[in-house]
Amino acid sequence: MEDKATGSFFYSLQKSNDAGQNWFVLNEDPFNGPVGEASGIYFIDENTGFISISRNGGTTGELYRTEDGGKSFGKIEIESKSVKLNNGVSFIPFDFPNAPYEKDGELYLNMGQGADGDYNGNSSLLYTSKDKGKTWECLKEVKSSN
């Protein structure tokens, strides 16, 4: 974190080449302008990685991807899934991407509901990627373990 003003955080991405003895700024603005609160970081190799940020008091989030080791990031667009309530109203509860993770050689992502979520016991959607996180396919809805 570089600065905090009126509840918003401003970040830079720093890197160390000597096990943390010295650090240098790799990217002065990894979120490309917008402010919020960083909510995760994960690199699958030296060049390809992800950062996530929460917005609007933690009610929504965004996911960013790099292919150059963090020198630049681009926002990832993930297909939204709407649900229909008993009263017939449709809405999109899943709007908070967590940082991806690897399991058994596959790349996964949970799309949660953020701080305002309470749909279906605060469930999430599980996505997978076969192209190192460029695109994501929804697998299923996952019940919360809480």
- CA-closest candidate to residue 53, choices 78, 35, 26: 35
* 124 close to 144: Cβ distance less than 8 angstroms: yes
Q: What pLDDT does 13 receive?
A: 83
Q: Which H or E run contains 3?
A: strand 3-5
Listed in sequence order, the residues at least 6 apart from 103 whose beta carbon sits closer than 8 Å to its beta carbon are: none
Give the pLDDT of residue 7. Answer: 56
How far is the C-alpha of 36 from the C-alpha of 52, rounded, in Å? 10
- pLDDT at residue number 3: 47
Alpha-carbon torsion, ordered 53, 57, 61, 63, to 10 deg? -10
Task: Show pLDDT as tens, one digit a residue, over the chain (146 residues).
Answer: 444 455 566 777 888 888 889 888 888 877 777 667 778 899 999 999 999 888 777 778 899 999 999 999 999 999 888 888 889 899 889 999 988 999 998 999 999 988 888 888 889 999 999 999 999 999 999 987 65
46, two tokens: 């030296």
Per-residue model confidence (pLDDT) at position 126: 96
* CA-based nearest residue to 125, from 106, 86, 87, 98: 98
Whole-number pLDDT of residue 122: 85
Nearest to 109 by CA among 62, 66, 55: 62
CA distance 51 to 30: 8
